[in-house]
Amino acid sequence: MAIKLFIGTSANYEDRDAELVYEYSLRRNSSSSLEINWMRLSNQRGSFWSNWNTKGWHTPFSGFRWAVPYLCNFKGRAIYTDVDMINFHDITQLYETKLDDSVFGCKKGQRFGLYEPCVMIIDCEKAGEVIWDIKKLQKKRNSHEKMKQLILSNETYCEAIDPLWNCFDGEDLPLNKIKQLHFTNMPTQPWKPTWYRGETKPHPREDIVELFWELKKEALDSGMSLKELTKSEVLYNFIGK
């Protein structure tokens, strides 16, 4: 079984350290094969990832998550996550989480309604009945906000997953208790992506920062390589903080 995993990331590889660490940790811990799809803006004519209306987005990939069911031809299951994560546990178990009659599986939280969409299990067939048409998603300035409002405040659409799969910056938990760590506070992300336009600060947990750089070294030693950093190939038009 190959798990379809869609990861939202930056266009010009500003998050390349995070991509390397996250993919390395995912593959190291997974008992299933992973089909990883990087979701990044493009300026190539005809690309699915070009000509998205990103005004109002806080990241270079905010609205991409809603395209996952379309990309899966509205069949089967898929997982969406942001790029700024470290995996500690076999993601197969997340993939196999029961959704009952729900469309999405997300962590309970209050930032965007009742649920957090940074890690989502998606029933792609059912999602086709909920999410806007792909052209509308791409062109409408408010499509990301409208999808959040529609889905994340609706108990009918969402099922709560184990919150340890979306653990915000450690949450004072020991590392061996976390299933997936999310560097959700952008000012403190260890790799300091240049697309983020706000103030940067040190991360409050030195053990997490040390682990991030250790995993980067392990990934490179294992034969993985960093993607080449590009210079403003894609010009951004979003909030960035």
Instruction: Give the per-residue pLDDT at 199.
Output: 94
Indicate whether 241 pLDDT > 80.
no
What 3-state DSSP class applies to 143?
A: helix
User: Which residue in 32, 49, 48, 29 sits closest to 40, CA to CA?
Assistant: 49
Indicate the pLDDT class of residue 31, thresholds 50, 70 and 90. very high
Q: What is the mean pLDDT of residues 74-83?
A: 98
Mean pLDDT of 180-189: 97
Joined together, the tokens standing for residue 47 give: 């690309």
Q: For position 110, what pLDDT does the model report? A: 82
Mean residue pLDDT of the chain comes to: 95
pLDDT value of residue 1: 75
pLDDT at 99 over 90: yes
Q: Taking phi first (over 0 means left), then psi (-120 to 50 degrees means alpha), and beta for anything else, what does residue 154 get?
A: beta
Q: What pTM, to 2 d.p., does this model score?
A: 0.96
Instruction: Kindly tell me if the per-residue pLDDT of 105 is higher than 80.
Output: yes
- Over pLDDT 90: what percentage of the chain? 91
pLDDT grade for 234, boundaries at 50, 70 and 90: very high
Looking at the predicted structure, is the pLDDT value of residue 232 above 80?
no
Question: What stretch of H or E contains 113?
Answer: none
Q: Average of pLDDT values for 203-212?
A: 98
DSSP percent split of the chain into helix, strand, coil, nearest 5: 30, 20, 50
Percent of the chain with pLDDT over 70: 100
